[in-house]
A and B are shown apart, each in its own frame.
Chain A
Amino acid sequence: AQKITQTQPGMFVQEKEAVTLDCTYDTSDQSYGLFWYKQPSSGEMIFLIYQGSYDEQNATEGRYSLNFQKARKSANLVISASQLGDSAMYFCAMRERNYGGSQGNLIFGKGTKLSVKP
């Protein structure tokens, strides 16, 4: 069965520094997608970044990058130049296999709570 593991329940980072949030996954599929979401205290789920299993380059979106190591089954999120507004829960997710014509649902890790210190 597919599984996402986030081993860091909480992390602290100093403002303006970079931080890496860990995510490992388990799947027997060759084709899959990996996602990161941010959930601030207000509760909404904000899509950050996506990596397809066949993408050769690591995905980047502004200050977010995904360090994809396929052989190690890891998909760590790197946030550069942390800002106070980055304080939130971060969830790693994997898409389950597609059902003919539509994309599969996501399975989520338990999340990492990031706190940015001024």
Chain B
Amino acid sequence: DSGVTQTPKHLITATGQRVTLRCSPRSGDLSVYWYQQSLDQGLQFLIQYYNGEERAKGNILERFSAQQFPDLHSELNLSSLELGDSALYFCASSPQEQFFGPGTRLTVL
């Protein structure tokens, strides 16, 4: 158990819809990183938050947004979903090693 929690574990939705993925970092970790794993793109960094502030952006689409709340949990919002957004979404937290949550498997039909 990495100590990073993510909900839900699975999500099935339709094109055009909006979903929210939730992540709680390990106790004491201030950073949250979001990654997307898809068959064609591999593992890609999306966005990082540190103590409530956005710190770095990767290949995150404009349809996607994230935030980190005062209790340090983070949410990744995906809107106007397309078939190609189907992927495994991970969050991670760390002081040094990055420990990953179990992931949310998103299926867009």
Query: What is A's interface to B at a CB cutoff of 8 Å?
Result: 33, 35, 37, 43-47, 50, 91, 93, 95-96, 99, 101-108, 110-111
Q: Give 4 closest A-B pairs by Cβ, nearest first.
A: A45-B100, A102-B50, A108-B43, A105-B45
- Interface-located stretch among B14-22, B72-80, B90-98: B90-98
Instruction: Give me 15 A-to-B residue pairs in the complex whose CB atoms sit less than 8 angstroms apart, sorted by A's number.
Output: A35-B98, A43-B88, A43-B105, A46-B100, A47-B2, A50-B96, A91-B43, A99-B50, A103-B95, A104-B56, A105-B48, A106-B45, A108-B42, A108-B43, A111-B42
Whether A102 contacts B55 by the Cβ 8 Å rule is yes
How far is the CB of B6 from the nearest CB of chain A, in Å? 10
**Size range of the chain B interface in the assembly:** 20 to 34
Q: Chain B binding site: helix, strand, loop or mixed by DSSP?
A: strand
If A43-B88, A105-B33, A105-B48 touch, does A99 touch B55 (CB 8 Å cutoff)? yes
CA distance A76 to B39 in the complex (A): 24
Whether B96 contacts A33 by the Cβ 8 Å rule is yes
Whether B100 contacts A107 by the Cβ 8 Å rule is no
Q: Within the complex, which residue of A45, A47, A107, A110 is in contact with B45, where a contact is CB–CB below 8 Å?
A: A107
CA distance A37 to B97 in the complex (A): 10
Whether B58 contacts A105 by the Cβ 8 Å rule is yes
CA distance A45 to B97 in the complex (A): 12
Given contacts A91-B43, A102-B55, A103-B31, 11 further A-B contacts (CB under 8 A): A43-B103, A47-B2, A47-B100, A50-B96, A96-B56, A99-B48, A103-B94, A104-B56, A105-B56, A107-B45, A110-B42
* B30 is an interface residue with CB less than 8 A from chain A: yes
